[in-house]
Structure 1
Amino acid sequence: MMKFIYLLFFLLLGLQDANAQVRVSHLFVMISDAMENAKNAKTEESVPILENFKTDFYAIASHNSTAGAEVSRILEIAIKNPNLKILESLSSALLTFEKEQNPIDYAAKTKQFEKRVLPIFSQLQKATIEKNIKDLPMLYKRFYDTWQRNERIVGDISPGHYAQIETALTLYRLAMISEVVDFKVMNLQIQNIGTALREFISGNVLQAQSIEGAPQTLSEGLTLLRKAFREFLQNQDLARDYILTFITQWPIFEGEVSTRDSGLYRRIESELPEIVARGATQENLAHFENLLQSLEKLDINAQFSAFDAAIILLREGIEALLIVMALLTALQAANQSKGRAWVIGGAMLGVLLSLIMALALMWVFPLAAAGTNREILEGIVGIIAVIMMVFIGAWLHSKSSARSWKAYISNQMGKALARGSLLGLGGLAFLAVFREGAETILFYAGMMPSMTMDSFLSGFGFACLALIVIAYLMKVFVQNLPVHLIFLVMSWLIYILGFKILGVSVHALQLTNIIPLDILPLPSVAFLGFYNNLQGLLAQAIYVVITLGIMIGQRRSNAKSSVTKA
């Protein structure tokens, strides 16, 4: 039964194109199981798995294609000796076969890349030639942000051009932020970027070039950065060369960092050029040391545990649970069973569309699904949810005094909620679940290759149990409260969660460069959704003003109503 559940879950995650003619997700599951056996010195248990793999693979009509023949060749070796290395080769061959059978329209994607990237590049190139120092930082940021959102197609098709552009961008920025702006270097690098872009768009393919003695792995790159750190005081030019070599090789192993710590990935890309430019000052060396320590703490070989699987669901699910439970509790107190059905239906629809959205992201953006597009989705949906939370919170708060509650009961006796109210309640439940659901599925999709079946199931099961316990405790806590106090507690819960979700949503859109980011000299408190930037704090300040305005307005209305009745 456990095996079936895992297989079903992985099949849903691995399905990237509902219309694909060839689906091999279940074959990847088999390889994963065989790899798990190899890691635990149980290679003999892998043979039956690989025999089943062979049966299923040969059932595919196109299994004898060029890529399919390579899968068959490696499979025969794996059946005889199912060690980890050969199983990794089998996985790579199967991935090649899948790409062969389900090709991506790279021509259309290249055309889209050209349309998005070249216009802003032309502006940056013009400003560089004209030495327009006033507009250059802004134009560079716009081009760099545009490049980051569209770079993966270049890396997929032409790794050599990708590496050239990444290196030239770094050197360009280094020349731009130096104490004396080096326009000669900037012009050279802008030419290099333009050449690489034009060659890529014209259809030329360039494989990544290996520099003799240069790092080929993250571990080797870290060793080189350590050498640069030691050389900074004695030979700053040599240290600079070491760092620039690391930057040149960075595209080869950047994925090992970006898939595990996106924040550290962004730090490396933005801070290394600044470290080179600032030189051997005490403050700069301390900054460099901190970056190195962060890299050293990154365990690229670590397996995800049951604890990691549980934390993902708890972290992403608890906010959605609290919102849904707040709505259900208030509706139960109001004896509005129809409203409860709408909330439950909205939450279930959120789960379903979360799965569909996660699959769509993995299909349309296979390499960026866990990054930029996930952040954009979370940010936009979160802001929409906050807008709805303001109105729902106002509705709850309007019933939070004993007098207003009695008036509500007398008016609603025997009546159902209006359809608009039902849509609002169901819509908020949907957005609360949908906002977190797609992100949770994408997190699990990224973790699956580095997590055993038992770890996933035990962690996921524990998290589900914990959420049930939280929901039960919440129900027990409020059931003995007077009904109008239930509405007061639930309205405050909705407002507080709205404050946090708004901060997190704005921050997510800032990370993807949708919203500008102006840092303020304040501490960030992430678990409260409080980030030290002007845009987020301004949005939250407006939210607080609106919320307080609603509360004050309702209090005055209640007071006026009391005077009138008196």
Structure 2
Amino acid sequence: MKIVISFILVISMQLHLFGVDYDKEARSIEEIFVKVVELYKEGNSKEARELTQSAYFSHFENLEAGVRINLGQKKAYAMEKQFGEIRKAIKASKDEQSIQTMIDSLNAEIKEILPVIKTGAKLVAEKSDDGGLSAAGIEANNNPWSDIYNQISSNLQSVSNAYDSSDAKAIKNAMNKIKFDLYRNTQLEIAIRRYANSKMDQMIQQIMGNVISQNLNLNKESLEQSLKDIDELIQTAIIKLPKESYALAPEIKIEEKKVDFAPTVQNIKQKMSDALKLYESGNMGEAISDVGDIYFDEYEASGMENKIGAIDNPLKTATEASFSKIVSLMKSGASSDKIIAEQNELYSKLQTSLEKASEQTGGWALFIYALSIILREGFEALIIVAAVVAYLLKTDNKKHLNLVYSSVSIAVILSFVTAYAINLIFGSSLAGQSREILEGITMLVAVVLLFYVGFWLLSNAGAKKWSHYIAGHIKDSLSSGDSKALWWTVFLAVYREGAETVLFYQALIFDASSNLDFSMIGAGFMAGIIILLIAYFVIKAFSLKIPIKPFFIATSMIIFYMSIVFVGKGVMELVEGKLFVPSIIEGVPTISWLGIYPYYESLVPQGMMILALIAGIFIIKKRQLNFNKGE
């Protein structure tokens, strides 16, 4: 019980890191901008730009999740863009008043959204194909207004495109469709007036009417602001609509849910290009930071990582490795040609990911994906669990089997808790970063325990009088502390895979569009569990038939192999969590199944472990020889 309580306390501390004090972050942004203005007035443009960037990365990113959750992706992006505009204005040496006006406008907007993000709807799960509504707590499956909003948002974009083409007729047609077909005829107008706010309806109607009447007479800035206001007013109103309003909405045919990651890939390419320009201009630190943010803000926050991880985990792992390699190349001062070559390698993997993500994912495809996830993620844990169980049985320690059952049960429960906590702030770069760091730390702690257990087994493999040894030494050692090591070994083996497995299944559930699809996911999962159980009993039975000395040696070798793999993968999780930037070793290949990555930070500890293993085996052999001579 002490073990369980201590781990829960650790997890609670980790989850506390996920919490964000929105008021504090807003004050910090405001205070930083005061310093930015002071620095700019003093002629220190470079530091002013760096502080502006700090305001975004260190503080606004912590607000961004709340903005996305309650006001949608578009609002978050629009606010994010203002930080970039302020930075550009400073770089372009614009007058102080212009920069102060831009800062005041952004600060005012942050204050305006604070009450909404502090008291607004909680996140269910963000999906990029519903205009941010599900991220605002409105599940598209249950809320008929979400489809209406999607159509309005799409037509608002058509208005913007028509303006760029100076097509007055197209502007009028699109706006009339929004006002009459989508806003009025669907009875959204009545729902907002009755259940949300009649003044909000008046504002929406007034802005729509103004765009229709003014048409091309509006300048571009005024038009875009009007379209933005319409979008945000309707979105905010829909968030407020209660379930009683659903009766007014038209019946909507539920189509297969599908996320288009093409915009995500395009954003990654554009931002990578910008990061390369920064690197080439001598801003190495800024470029490295930007590449890390691209990974979290685009690849992970869009849901693309979990989607690809659910259907092709090696591709996901290879894509993550490409991000890390680009960062490492920049840190090493590599030539632009080498970085561009690795970026192209990344783009190729992203294109493959796009093709896989766009494939039909219904019926049997979902069954296969669901089956492969549990087999892939569960098999490593199964080997360790089966080895520990077989060890306890072979050494007449059946009474300690409850250690295994309790550690597995708690690991599974806490896997769901961790996944839920991550989902509460899904879409925030902090969420992805914290998850990677948590996974990395879990792996590295597991390495210490695995290495300990491996040596413990190996040191006992040479005992001659097994009946005497089993009756005494092993039972004593278990009762005096090694039981805790076994508990943690099993726990970490299961927990390490657990939370990620839950998130992969969540990605599959997002793709399900019918009861049949949900049934196929469930069937795939259950089939995988059955296969794992069969494998468990086969491994356990086979282990019991092996003489105890070969069993100890074989088990310790498997554990040592997994320890070395975990070191490499654990370090890479910390790299992906932006804990540090890796140092690349040219010419070393990536061999993920061995945990080999071309970085000093992973290869050096792996090399030290191998040397420690060789030295340990030599010492054990020498002790056993001396012991046998003395008998």
Do they fold alike, i.e. is TM over 0.5? Answer: yes
Match among 593, 596, 604 for residue 538 of structure 1 = 604
Q: CA deviation at 1:160?
A: 5.3
Q: Output the CA distance in 2 between the equivalents of 1:445 and 1:392.
A: 34
Q: Per-residue deviation at 1:439?
A: 2.1
Say which of 594, 602, 609 aligns to 1:528.
594
Mean Cα deviation higher: 116-125 or 393-402: 116-125
Aligned partner of 2:618 in structure 1 is: 552
Q: Contact between 2:461 and 2:552, CA under 8 Å: does it hold in 1? A: yes
Partner of 1:290: 348
Query: Aligned pair in 2 of structure 1 residues 548, 455: CA closer, same or farther (>3 Å)?
Result: same
| Residues 17-36 of structure 1, C-alpha deviations (whole Å, 9 max, x = no match) | xxxxxxxxxxxxxxxxxxxx
Given candidates 540, 551, 562, the residue that maps to 1:475 is 540
Q: Which aligned pairs between 1:409-448 and structure 2 lie closer than 5 A?
A: 409=470, 411-412=472-473, 417-448=478-509
Shift of 1:325: 1.0
Question: CA contact under 8 A between 2:68 and 2:427: conserved in structure 1?
Answer: no
State the 1:456 CA deviation: 1.0
The amino acid across from 1:464 in the alignment is I
Q: For residues 519 and 368 of structure 1, what CA distance do their matches in structure 2 show?
A: 25
Does 2:107 align with 1:198?
Answer: yes
Distance 2:581 2:447 in 1: 20
Pick closer, same or farther for the CA change 1:474–1:124 going to 2, 3 Å: farther
In structure 2, do the counterparts of structure 1 residues 161 and 338 end up closer, same or farther at CA, with 3 Å as the change threshold? same
Match of 2:68 in 1: 155
Find 1:324's aligned residue among 374, 377, 385: 385
**2:324–2:576 contact (8 Å) kept in structure 1:** no
Deviation at 1:123, TM superposition (A): 9.4
- Counterpart of 1:398? 459
Letter of the 1:297 counterpart: E
Report the count of equivalent residues. 428
Given that 1:338 and 1:416 are in contact with CA atoms closer than 8 Å, whether structure 2 keeps it comes out as no
SS in 2 for 1:297: helix
Deviations 1:496-537 (A, max 9, x none): 112222222221222121233333322212222222222222
Deviates more, 1:418-427 or 1:467-476: 467-476
Give the % identical residues. Answer: 21
Q: Are 1:463 and 2:376 an aligned pair?
A: no
State the match for 1:454 in structure 2. 519
Match of 1:260 among 297, 303, 307: 307
- For 2:161, the equivalent position in structure 1 comes to 213
Give me the whole-angstrom Cα distance separating, in 2, the residues matched to 1:124 and 1:518. 33
TM-superposed deviation, 1:268: 9.5
List per-residue Cα deviations over 1:310-347 (Å, max 9, x = no partner): 11111211111111111111221111112333122222
- Cα distance between partner residues in 1 of 2:321 and 2:355: 16
Instruction: Tell me how far 1:483 sits from its aligned partner.
Output: 0.6
Which residue pairs with 2:172 in the alignment? Answer: none
Alignment of 1:288-367 (within 5 A): 290=348, 293-294=351-352, 296-300=354-358, 302-303=360-361, 305-363=366-424
SS at match of 1:212: helix
d(CA) in 2 for partners of 1:144 and 1:416?
Answer: 50
User: Letter of the aligned partner of 1:351 in structure 2?
Assistant: V
Q: 1:363 to 1:222 in 2, by over 3 A?
A: closer
CA contact (8 A) 1:165 1:196 kept: no
Alpha-carbon offset, residue 254 of structure 1: 7.4
2:132 corresponds to 1:184:
no
Give SS of 2:585's match. Answer: coil
1:423-466: per-residue Cα shift (whole Å, max 9, x none)?
A: 22112212211222222122222321213122112211221122
Whether 1:380 aligns to 2:441 is yes
Checking the alignment, whether the CA contact within 8 Å between 1:399 and 1:405 is kept in structure 2 is no
Q: Which runs of 5+ in 1 are unaligned?
A: 1-106, 176-181, 229-246
Which stretch shifts more, 414-423 or 341-350? 414-423
Q: 1:283 to 1:442 in 2, by over 3 A?
A: closer
Distance 2:325 2:50 in 1: 13
Give the counterpart letter for 1:530 in structure 2.
I
Tell me: CA distance 1:199–1:389, structure 2 relative to 1, closer, same or farther (3 Å).
farther
Which of residues 77, 89, 110 in structure 1 aligns to 2:22? 110
Q: Pick one of 495, 505, 525 that aligns with 2:560.
A: 495
* d(CA) in 1 for partners of 2:527, 2:400: 30
Shift of the alpha carbon at 1:362?
A: 3.1
Secondary structure, in 3 states, of the residue corresponding to 1:536? helix
Q: Secondary structure of the equivalent of 1:401?
A: coil
The structure-2 alpha-carbon separation of the partners of 1:412 and 1:124, relative to structure 1 and needing over 3 Å to count, comes to farther
The structure-2 alpha-carbon separation of the partners of 1:186 and 1:435, relative to structure 1 and needing over 3 Å to count, comes to farther
Which of 567, 570, 582 lines up with 1:517 in the alignment?
Answer: 582
TM superposition score normalised by structure 1 = 0.60
Superposed CA deviations along residues 141-200 of structure 1, whole A, max 9, x for unmatched, are: 997487656632233355556324544677899x9xxxxxx9538999998996676345
1:378 Cα deviation after fit: 1.8
Deviation at 1:473, TM superposition (A): 3.0
How far does residue 556 in structure 1 lie from its aligned partner after superposition? 2.6
Letter in 2 for 1:547: L
> Is contact 1:354–1:434 with CA below 8 Å preserved after alignment?
yes
Separation in 2 of the partners of 1:342 and 1:471?
17
Post-superposition CA distance 1:83-107 (Å, at most 9, x none): xxxxxxxxxxxxxxxxxxxxxxxx9
Q: Which runs of 5+ in 2 are unaligned?
A: 1-18, 117-131, 133-152, 165-230, 232-258, 271-293, 310-315
* Counterparts of 2:31 and 2:447, CA distance in 1: 35
Matched position secondary structure for 2:160: coil
RMSD of Structure 2 on Structure 1 (CA): 5.3
Which residue pairs with 2:550 in the alignment? 485
Q: CA–CA distance in 2 between the matches of 1:412 and 1:336?
A: 12
Contact 2:25 2:63 in 1 (8 A): yes
Provide the rounded CA distance (Å) in 2 between the counterparts of 1:488 and 1:269. 36
Partner SS for 2:92: helix
Cα offset for 1:121? 8.7
Task: Please name the residue that 2:282 is paired with.
Answer: none
TM-score (norm 2): 0.54
Helix, strand or coil for the counterpart of 1:514? coil
C-alpha displacement of 1:471: 1.7
CA drift of 1:115 comes to 7.2
Q: Distance in 2 between matches of 1:126 and 1:386?
A: 50
Q: CA deviation at 1:545?
A: 3.5
